[in-house]
């Protein structure tokens, strides 16, 4: 089921969004200040490419929390709202519910990316 979900996800737009995240990551990594942000964009690209069968585990410490607070205020809240909206649209139909759940997973990562680790189930 994971394989089928990931294939459908890629066909229905996951590949384009993952490429977009990767490009944002490359652009952010041009400057030294942007490297930590670029690494988070690469993390989002990895989850967006094949979200089925992956989970996000949160860790980190005080440093991650402080940077996440800044992230939420600047960009995280808007990205998370976009993913929640996409998840709600997906959940309108029964067939779209698994895709909506993956969008909610990405919303959580978009809101709080520092200190998060993506793991296979």
- Domain of residue 28 covers 2-120
- Average confidence score pLDDT of the chain: 92
pLDDT for res 121? 87
Q: Domain total for the chain?
A: 1
Can you give the pTM of this predicted structure? 0.87
Phi, psi of 54 (to 5 degrees): -125, 155
Q: Is the dihedral of CA 99, 91, 21, 118 positive or negative?
A: negative
Q: Is the pLDDT of residue 59 over 90?
A: no
Q: Is the pLDDT of residue 61 over 90?
A: no
């Amino acid at each position: 089921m994971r394989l089928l979900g990931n294939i459908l996800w890629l066909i229905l737009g996951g590949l384009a969004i993952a490429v977009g995240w990767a490009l944002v990551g490359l652009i952010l990594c041009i400057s030294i200040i942007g490297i930590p942000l670029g690494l988070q964009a690469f993390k989002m690209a990895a989850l967006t490419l094949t979200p089925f069968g992956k989970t996000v585990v949160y860790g980190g410490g005080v440093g991650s929390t402080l940077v996440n607070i800044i992230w939420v205020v600047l960009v995280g809240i808007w990205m998370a709202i976009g993913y929640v909206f996409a998840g709600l649209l997906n959940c309108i139909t029964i067939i779209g519910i698994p895709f909506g759940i993956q969008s909610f997973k990405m919303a959580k990562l978009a809101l709080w990316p520092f200190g998060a680790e993506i793991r296979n189930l």
